[in-house]
Amino acid sequence: MGRGKHDEQELITRSSCSWLIRRAPLRYAPRPGVPLREHFDHSDAGKARTVMDDSLSTRRALAPWLTIAALTAPQGCAALNPVGTTATNILRHAQSDPDPNVRYLAYSKLGSANVYDNEEQKREVLRVLVKRLEFSQEPVASRAMICRTLGELRLPEAHDALLKAVDDNDAIIRVEACRALGKVGRPEDATVLCRVMTVDTLLDAKIAAIDGLAALKPKDPRILQVLVEGMDNDLPAIRLSSVQALRAITGKDLGVEPKPWRELVQPMLAQQPSAAADAAVQPVGTTK
């Protein structure tokens, strides 16, 4: 008992030591006639190697200090925050940095609530990201990350851009747009997500649409019926996502069998007046 915790601590220690061995220079200049091994043993890297070779108890005791040293070194700071920590700095990198990898990282960081001081900053970022999504020539991965960040911002002004991105030609963009639309969408967007769940040939897009429904929490019992049908799908991932969405929308947990969920939804459907709009919501097939 407790071995798992010790293994985890040892892994952290070894990672920290490896970082020190790669980063630490030899402390002493080589002296004539002295073997290089002796210089290594007296260097920071050599001491780190000694720690790695020491007993578990020693490594465990030194683990917190080695981890802190690795994370607080100047090289580590530069690697951890290449785009800054405030919305203003991060947005500047997103707009003007020539490196697409840095821009991608900036788009990702802008999805964190911790970088914003007020709502106006969020709206300024949203305006920039919407333009980048609709009109820029950003790489596909960056446009997908923009969709994710727009969802994390949870501002309704992103709705139209995300609704358009749901039908994008690139699969990864459709996937992120479906999940984001669930966070900023309107009740009528449930039929759009149901269409993706039913018609899209990509499994990841189907699952993302179901996740979007779980976040949107539509009240229409026809949407619940689509999810109940999803529990009979041939694909386990669709079945699992469907039951998770039903739990999120209804606040109930009736298990993983479709029958109890059907018994819950059928009375709701009976109270729903029939309408031509029913055709917009189709049951999930078994398309793989």
Dump pLDDT digits (tens) for 259-272.
999 999 999 988 87
Contact between residue 148 and residue 177 where contact means Cβ atoms under 8 Å apart: no
Domain ranges, ordered by start, for the chain: 3-80, 84-185, 189-288
HSE-CB for 10 with a 13 A CA cutoff: 13
Give mean pLDDT in consecutive 10-residue pieces for the chain, a chain of 288 residues: 46 42 41 47 46 46 57 48 87 93 95 94 96 90 96 96 95 96 94 95 96 95 95 95 96 94 92 53 46
Tokens describing residue 264: 């819950």
User: What is the radius of gyration, based on Cα positions, of the chain?
Assistant: 26
Q: Which residues, other chains included, contact 179 with Cβ-Cβ below 8 Å and sequence gap of 6+?
A: 148, 151, 208, 211, 212, 215
* pLDDT confidence of residue 133: 94
* CA 95 vs CA 34, 90, 136: distances in Å: 55, 9, 11
Distance from the first to the final alpha carbon of the chain: 44
CA atoms of 259 and 249, how far apart (whole Å):
17
Using a CB cutoff of 8 Å and minimum separation of 24, what contacts does 59-65 make? 59/9, 59/10, 59/13, 59/14, 60/6, 60/9, 60/10, 60/13, 62/13, 63/9, 63/10, 63/12, 63/13, 63/16
* CA 62 vs CA 58, 74, 157: distances in Å: 6, 21, 50
Measured in whole angstroms, the distance separating CA 134 from the mean position of its chain's CA atoms is 22
Contact between residue 184 and residue 148 where contact means Cβ atoms under 8 Å apart: no
Which amino acid would we find at residue 126? L
CA atoms of 86 and 163, how far apart (whole Å):
29
Phi, psi of 212 (to 5 degrees): -60, -40
Q: Which residue has the tokens 């991060």?
A: 90
In CATH terms, 84-185 corresponds, of 2.60.40.10, 3.40.50.460, 1.10.3720.10, 1.25.10.10, to 1.25.10.10
Q: Which residue has the tokens 């700095």?
A: 89
CA atoms of 6 and 284, how far apart (whole Å):
47
Closest CA to 145 of 115, 186, 113, 110: 110
Burial of 213 (0-12, 13-18, 19+ CB in 10 A): buried
Q: Which residues, other chains included, contact 46 with Cβ-Cβ below 8 Å and sequence gap of 6+?
A: 39, 40
Contact between residue 284 and residue 198 where contact means Cβ atoms under 8 Å apart: yes
